[in-house]
Amino acid sequence: MTEETHRPELWKDTGAVSISFDDGSDSQLEIAVPILDQFDLPATFYINPRVRSDLEPWRKVGLSGHEIGNHTVSHICSRNFGWSGKKSLETSSLSDIEDDILLAEERLRNLLPEQTERTFCYPCYQNHVGEGIDRQSYVPVIAKYFPAARGTGEAANHPELTDLHYLTSWIVSGWMSGSDLIKATQAAMAQKRWIIFVFHGMSSQKPSRWDPTSYYHGGGFSGQEFNIFCQYLSQNRVNIPTNTVLQIAKQIRRWRATE
Ligand SMILES: [Zn+2]
């Protein structure tokens, strides 16, 4: 048996794609989920399980083959954002963060007991508590509970070298087009890397111009452009495998365990 046939999955020789969404908005349910389902592409939705009634639609999404990931209950970020009245990472302890993550985990398990494991997503891509000389990473807390976690960064993930508990990702802005995403995918595949796209809100409009004042980088991503991207991934599924963050991370963990 050659080395290649030991591996049931192809993508280590091709690269891979994951499509992820943050913060669980209605526009994701209304615009993104139907397009993903039309093209049979599984995605990862990182939600904040706050109110039970808001969560119910995500149960159906999880049961249809998408991953429902943990994005904490309280979505604590740096106080530098200036969100008044919110908890901040600078004034939180590692155990505050751990409690919030475990509460989210309990609620997600109640919502969707059929999904027995999931990945984590760092709110605002930040992974620290405290500041200055007392600043600490909470990545080790995440590594205790999750097979992988998504942050952000410059390069796409090298399957053998990336830190599975702080995966890099490619943040999609509202002003981008489907062809921008296709080009980013092709660049990652040329390097045999795993590219994880991050979407926030979706929009029924064409891409808006870049707005430097918008936290969402120019508004939601256009459903029409998302359709173009998903159609491309679907037509190229043999050479460009697309799967949830959980499934790709598990595959990498299996490779690492046997090599
Ligand atoms: Zn978020």
What digits encode the pLDDT tens for the residues 204-232? 877 666 665 554 544 689 999 999 999 99
Domains of the chain: 4-71+147-258 (3.20.20.370)
The dihedral of CA 77, 203, 47, 19: what is its sign?
A: negative
Do 68 and 62 form a contact (C-beta atoms < 8 A)?
yes
| pLDDT-based confidence at residue 1 (cuts at 50, 70, 90) | very low
Residues within 5 A (CB) of ion ligand 1? 22-23, 123
Q: How many angstroms does the Cα of residue 150 sit away from the middle of ligand 1?
A: 11
Q: How many angstroms does the Cα of residue 235 sit away from the middle of ligand 1?
A: 30
Q: How many angstroms does the Cα of residue 8 sit away from the middle of ligand 1?
A: 34
Q: How many angstroms does the Cα of residue 9 sit away from the middle of ligand 1?
A: 31
Q: Sheet containing 149-150: which strands, arranged edge to edge?
A: 149-150, 120-121, 67-70, 44-47, 16-22, 194-199, 170-171
Please tell me whether residue 171 adopts helix, strand or coil conformation: strand
What digits encode the pLDDT tens for the residues 115-162? 999 999 999 999 999 999 999 999 999 999 999 999 999 889 999 899
Q: How many angstroms does the Cα of residue 222 sit away from the middle of ligand 1?
A: 19
**CA angle 211–215–216, rounded 5-degree value:** 80
